Structure 1
């Protein structure tokens, strides 16, 4: 039987589930104060998910919004930390260059220049979605909005299953400054500061923010240096120009530099020189020692304009420019053998512009419409080198030669390969080759979205977006020096038997390209109803799309069909206890066609994007936020998802991945936290903020291979300290993964192609102290 289930069955099984946590600041309602058991009302956060300012509880979308203050309170200093807070969101960060964003079971982590992401990442309305440039340091933020479900109508191409939106603090008419200094284990250091001031009274204002964090790696590399550390420096300057009372221009300039040590890819089949096969023992044995690592630079400029045209109409413009350059050196075999020595050199450039006309005449109809243009070009180059004497010891080669000698050193004794009676090929001690892919896209979009108030309580929303994309994809593979003898034996293959021979990547004569034009449409229909002032329900149907993929290699090219999803969703948002308890509940059902997944290409030996057929996802989420009193606050999130490939395709044929769960997708996930405070003197307050997050078992690949997985685990975190000077000073301590739990954030990787899967360990117990000042 197919795996799909009717949405009504889902409702019976899952009940109601949550859409979001409105992480607003806690504020006391003076009229409700009652001594030590005072009732406290949660201020509603203002968000712009629907391109206009609304209270988060009024938005008929599964949205989680977290203020910059909340992120500071719980020591959220990495994008992956945000994933631990949001129901339905997972963020896997191998390095700042190689993240994976997972929303409701769908992973967006491809680094190929010709593949569009499923999850869009935005920074002040500008898409920064390309994987190698999407990780930005979350500092000096106004808020983060995470929207779950197809968001193409609101956010455009690529937001097929959700969007993560970072809204940075802008310059304003006022003076303020602040700093944070910190230190911790693994020689960690932290420095963050911001300052805001008028430049020209009542006309021009400026703000500057800086960030630095450095931490040694927590994995000892037995071949030299350490791995899995952090070294990030970021700078932001913003300016606001008030043209008149209603018109503003904001210019935001961003710069970020990441130079952390390398990622600890640890082989599960080749022991270290110490004889260990324990991939969680916080050691590795990777060649090139301290030469492993990342050098990434991200730059951006954004110009935001807001202009009132008359009492009902306004114009918003968003202009963005962005580029990134990154070079990452990594050892893909996860061992001391010189078999899979890789690097990745990625570059991306983009410019975009959006005009959006907003209408609100004070009547029953509100809406917006506009057009946008987006241009992007990029390349991903992958150099590869090997000692052919070590390469033949890889399990996938199938020769059965042990990779290590008894003393733990690489086995390079076999230097001849017999291929026929009396015929042997010598093996090269050093072989080098590379391949690269490229992508260039020009996209034009028209969009409109409107809400009609049928009654004071009932609203209907309809949105549409049309897209035209002119896309070019390219591929090249380069040959260096003497032909590979292994390649001559037929391992790499080539469309031209007379061409120079590589082991892995059949060489080409320069770039091979293919260009195509694609047109598409996505949309949404939403009904929301206010049952009471503090209770609102909604139901929606939406269509999402991931763009077509053009695959080009030395053997030819093909176009992978666009991935489509139909989403049905229902939810309830409400408040109780005088507004002190806020809850969001939702359930959803997705049906995918032409699900794009990664499969091994027998010609190139690479994993490439391919059509995985049909798939279905059912899920439920819940989020609660409660301020019991001025001294006690609680939040809780839970998500359940059953996301699998269907048993059969549209023609009734059995699918290769039938019944398999989506990769990086726990069936259950949850997080919770407390905010406890005690006034101990005038202007002085103690606080204690423990938090917890848990996720159930996950597979790291869509083929659900046993052993390429992580069992369920929980992490416990804490921030505690004292504020004084009426809150202007904060001296605190923090700890994450306090139980020092061993867990994996990824497994399989490039080594899996060659029979030696590699594993990446999550962070151990980290702790330290910080001093914050606000002026």
Structure 2
């Protein structure tokens, strides 16, 4: 297989990098339709999803769980070599591709910033000249699943061709979703159930299963035009659109962890009680132009320009209907130790609204590179990126513990809300790079490469409205609480909270942010490649990478007017790697082996972090920690591992492949303030959180999303029937050991931050005639219906988690024409 991982065409087995390359045939075998589906196909690759229609990608334990406009992915996404800065680009459906290349380890020299973990490059199939052909697939599956994929190649002449691709996928939401009409009672406070819901009903409406959370309603189209007027010049223009019209993702309660506690589930795992139905309208448009001019037989000049435009509107129910048990919550002053620990109101009623976002980026890249295989091969280039980001994002927290025993306040459950009006966030990157491969002898090649980047981030005229302290100002003067229960749903109107005008009593202007950050960074690659024979190659390399830092909005570090901008620094990695690639046993076995060690300095870690101590005397949480969703830097972490990939033909008509990997991750230096599940730990009698300014050591902890061992084995057998038909059964087994979901590695009962070891099976049976003009396939994914988590957070005594898909069964048909 020929790949472009080094930005030149090289054979996979002659490329001195840890690369997994998947063809469309490989993707079809495994039922992979987007990047999320590749988690079991690539060593040390993990995928997670969250509520903002994006994917968190982790490779070799290197990840970024911040998928907002603030940060960038740690594993960069490229489409035909064009950098895609937003992680939502990972959702684009993969169909009609030539191959997908997954490069593991830092790629700081050729691919630049924000690729310390690796690169995923999706390369679409090129239009073919002077021929007309097409293909269409359709399928039906579980949860009312429907899919269609179509491609047609227009080979108008021997110099001009166009290829058109369309794909769409739909399925209902998983599990069960019901409407939330929670009506609370507190006899001690004179509150009886009266048939009026206490949770917000302004958005509540019945929705069909096709519009439940965790559904699928996506489509994508791509048009590629290719023009080659002569042997020296070629131009390719691509226009594509990806659209998500679904409901978005939502977490479920981890029922297994809650067993034996007051928070135990009285419902199935995949269950939601919703008063804000999900709504997503997201589009991602890409426009790409690539030109290549062969200056002579050994030198090519290539220029690329790309423009990406992402727009999104999304409404999301943030609590999912998961409330603390009655004995852990209270109206009025807390009466028990559990109620005092949680400081929780009986219901949570939180929602968010991305009222509009627009992320636009333009990239330019010019490359001068050698063509063919010479004694000296090289790539020289320059790169430029500019991204402009706008978002109007708001959150309402409508039911909150607000009773103040010292002041004698009788109002409890007051709301608050915030609105972020980010008008001018920018990212700019300039870089020059070069890499040289010099054959010192016929068998020994030296690689020297380097890149220097000038990067800048800006946040100008960023307005933050609202108040993080529960207050009757949220009602915007349209309602005044008069009893211990602040309100019921019938008291709420559309002009309250985040829907009130900016600058009003409900949304006062509290902060304006204006900040710029700059980084000038050099990265490099040094390598040796030894080819003792055509079928064997050994290599070693030292490579560095980096990921830029950034800034969030301003935050009140003490909930009492201590305002500072939340900032974090860049991360840097040095990776030492040695490997082997070859063909063995008369070419029946193709084997790749990689041994690596990475030292990470200032590794970025995102989550709910303690930023200060609450000194507000009007807050029931005075003296407790103030937290914010932000990123900090771990001073030093180390990652080492071994990856073995193999493809073989052990006997006639049989194909056996897969990988085995060992991954050891460790924090060498790093601390945090322990604020994880403090209330739950008090309730369950576990080690309590320390003071809100007390640092605990993370030394020796493992990085999240990095199971120590993982294994995938897949086998396909071809049976030739007497009537000319072919039957191909295929089975895939994936196993991985325990995986931490947070760097704190907390393992207390009912609150553990981990996904246990598991095994999954996928399979299909495909039938084709002798002329291969059509196929029929029956498939099953996650056949044993294992529930596995890819992300989680702690509620009040229970865990909420993002789960991978349950068992799905279906049938597909495909036709060539």
TM category (shorter chain) comes to 0.7 to 0.9
Could you tell me the TM-score, scaled by structure 1's length? Answer: 0.83
More displaced stretch, 546-555 vs 670-679: 546-555
Aligned counterparts, 1:182-221, within 5 A:
182-199=139-156, 201-221=157-177
For the 8 Å contact 2:47–2:790, the answer to whether it is kept is no
Tell me how far apart the structure 1 counterparts of residues 554 and 526 of structure 2 sit (CA, whole Å): 41
Aligned counterparts, 1:730-749, within 5 A:
730-748=775-793
More displaced stretch, 507-516 vs 261-270: 261-270
Give the structure 1 partner of residue 59 of structure 2. 103
Tell me how far apart the structure 2 counterparts of residues 221 and 227 of structure 1 sit (CA, whole Å): 8
For the 8 Å contact 2:416–2:466, the answer to whether it is kept is no
Deviation of 1:329 after TM superposition, in Å, equals 2.7
2:577 is equivalent to residue 569 of structure 1: yes
For the 8 Å contact 1:332–1:342, the answer to whether it is kept is yes
Deviations, residues 434-458 of structure 1 (Å, cap 9, x unaligned):
2355631121110000000000000
For the 8 Å contact 1:119–1:129, the answer to whether it is kept is no
Tell me how far apart the structure 2 counterparts of residues 58 and 535 of structure 1 sit (CA, whole Å): 9
Deviation of 1:87 after TM superposition, in Å, equals 0.6
For the 8 Å contact 1:219–1:264, the answer to whether it is kept is no
Tell me how far apart the structure 1 counterparts of residues 258 and 575 of structure 2 sit (CA, whole Å): 46
For the 8 Å contact 1:432–1:480, the answer to whether it is kept is yes
What secondary structure, in the 3-state scheme, does the structure 2 residue paired with 1:286 have? strand
Tell me how far apart the structure 1 counterparts of residues 576 and 569 of structure 2 sit (CA, whole Å): 23
Give the structure 1 partner of residue 236 of structure 2. 250
Tell me how far apart the structure 2 counterparts of residues 314 and 724 of structure 1 sit (CA, whole Å): 43
2:770 is equivalent to residue 761 of structure 1: no
Q: Which has the higher contact order (CA 8 A, sep 6+)?
A: 1
2:630 is equivalent to residue 608 of structure 1: yes
- Which one of the candidate residues 463, 484, 487 is aligned to 2:471? 484
Counterparts in 2 of 1:333 and 1:319: CA distance versus 1, 3 Å: same
Tell me how far apart the structure 1 counterparts of residues 591 and 288 of structure 2 sit (CA, whole Å): 35
Give the structure 2 partner of residue 519 of structure 1. 520
RMSD: 2.8
What secondary structure, in the 3-state scheme, does the structure 1 residue paired with 2:520 have? strand
Deviations, residues 657-713 of structure 1 (Å, cap 9, x unaligned):
222211111111111111111111354211101111122111221212232221011
For the 8 Å contact 1:683–1:727, the answer to whether it is kept is no
Give the structure 2 partner of residue 374 of structure 1. 385
- Which one of the candidate residues 637, 643, 647 is aligned to 1:621? 643
Tell me how far apart the structure 1 counterparts of residues 160 and 515 of structure 2 sit (CA, whole Å): 48
Tell me how far apart the structure 2 counterparts of residues 301 and 135 of structure 1 sit (CA, whole Å): 17
2:543 is equivalent to residue 557 of structure 1: no
- Which one of the candidate residues 338, 343, 351 is aligned to 1:341? 351
For the 8 Å contact 2:56–2:73, the answer to whether it is kept is no
For the 8 Å contact 1:268–1:277, the answer to whether it is kept is no
Tell me how far apart the structure 1 counterparts of residues 695 and 669 of structure 2 sit (CA, whole Å): 6
For the 8 Å contact 1:120–1:159, the answer to whether it is kept is yes
What secondary structure, in the 3-state scheme, does the structure 2 residue paired with 1:64 have? strand
Give the structure 2 partner of residue 164 of structure 1. 120
For the 8 Å contact 1:551–1:559, the answer to whether it is kept is yes
More displaced stretch, 566-575 vs 362-371: 362-371
What secondary structure, in the 3-state scheme, does the structure 1 residue paired with 2:706 have? coil
- Which one of the candidate residues 205, 213, 218 is aligned to 1:232? 218
Give the structure 1 partner of residue 478 of structure 2. none
What secondary structure, in the 3-state scheme, does the structure 2 residue paired with 1:664 have? coil
Aligned counterparts, 1:297-336, within 5 A:
297-335=283-321
Tell me how far apart the structure 1 counterparts of residues 569 and 64 of structure 2 sit (CA, whole Å): 17
Tell me how far apart the structure 2 counterparts of residues 642 and 487 of structure 1 sit (CA, whole Å): 49
Gaps of 5+ in 2: 180-205, 323-346, 476-502, 556-562, 613-625, 672-693
Aligned counterparts, 1:299-698, within 5 A:
299-335=285-321, 337-344=347-354, 345-360=356-371, 363-388=374-399, 391-392=400-401, 417-425=403-411, 427-428=413-414, 431-435=416-420, 439-473=425-459, 475-479=462-466, 484-485=471-472, 508-509=509-510, 511-554=512-555, 555-557=563-565, 559-598=567-606, 600-602=609-611, 605-647=627-669, 656-681=697-722, 683-698=724-739
Deviation of 1:588 after TM superposition, in Å, equals 0.5
Tell me how far apart the structure 1 counterparts of residues 30 and 419 of structure 2 sit (CA, whole Å): 44
Tell me how far apart the structure 2 counterparts of residues 439 and 116 of structure 1 sit (CA, whole Å): 13
Tell me how far apart the structure 1 counterparts of residues 215 and 406 of structure 2 sit (CA, whole Å): 49
Give the structure 2 partner of residue 5 of structure 1. none
Deviation of 1:117 after TM superposition, in Å, equals 2.2
What secondary structure, in the 3-state scheme, does the structure 2 residue paired with 1:80 have? helix
Tell me how far apart the structure 2 counterparts of residues 227 and 478 of structure 1 sit (CA, whole Å): 29
Tell me how far apart the structure 2 counterparts of residues 735 and 140 of structure 1 sit (CA, whole Å): 22
For the 8 Å contact 2:634–2:670, the answer to whether it is kept is no
Counterparts in 2 of 1:485 and 1:140: CA distance versus 1, 3 Å: same
Aligned counterparts, 1:68-83, within 5 A:
68-83=24-39
Deviation of 1:332 after TM superposition, in Å, equals 2.5
Deviations, residues 118-164 of structure 1 (Å, cap 9, x unaligned):
11110011111422333211111110000001101111111112000
Gaps of 5+ in 1: 1-44, 393-415, 489-498
Tell me how far apart the structure 1 counterparts of residues 802 and 115 of structure 2 sit (CA, whole Å): 28
Deviation of 1:460 after TM superposition, in Å, equals 0.3
For the 8 Å contact 2:66–2:606, the answer to whether it is kept is no
For the 8 Å contact 2:64–2:604, the answer to whether it is kept is no
2:695 is equivalent to residue 708 of structure 1: no
Tell me how far apart the structure 1 counterparts of residues 628 and 266 of structure 2 sit (CA, whole Å): 25
Deviations, residues 555-590 of structure 1 (Å, cap 9, x unaligned):
223653321111100001111122221000111001
Tell me how far apart the structure 2 counterparts of residues 427 and 690 of structure 1 sit (CA, whole Å): 53
For the 8 Å contact 2:226–2:234, the answer to whether it is kept is yes
Tell me how far apart the structure 2 counterparts of residues 487 and 510 of structure 1 sit (CA, whole Å): 17
For the 8 Å contact 1:601–1:608, the answer to whether it is kept is no
Deviations, residues 628-660 of structure 1 (Å, cap 9, x unaligned):
3451000021111111211469xxx99732222
Counterparts in 2 of 1:261 and 1:471: CA distance versus 1, 3 Å: closer
Counterparts in 2 of 1:729 and 1:745: CA distance versus 1, 3 Å: same
2:274 is equivalent to residue 287 of structure 1: yes
Tell me how far apart the structure 1 counterparts of residues 533 and 39 of structure 2 sit (CA, whole Å): 32
For the 8 Å contact 1:483–1:500, the answer to whether it is kept is no
Counterparts in 2 of 1:186 and 1:422: CA distance versus 1, 3 Å: closer
Tell me how far apart the structure 1 counterparts of residues 425 and 19 of structure 2 sit (CA, whole Å): 32
More displaced stretch, 296-305 vs 450-459: 296-305
Tell me how far apart the structure 1 counterparts of residues 536 and 723 of structure 2 sit (CA, whole Å): 39
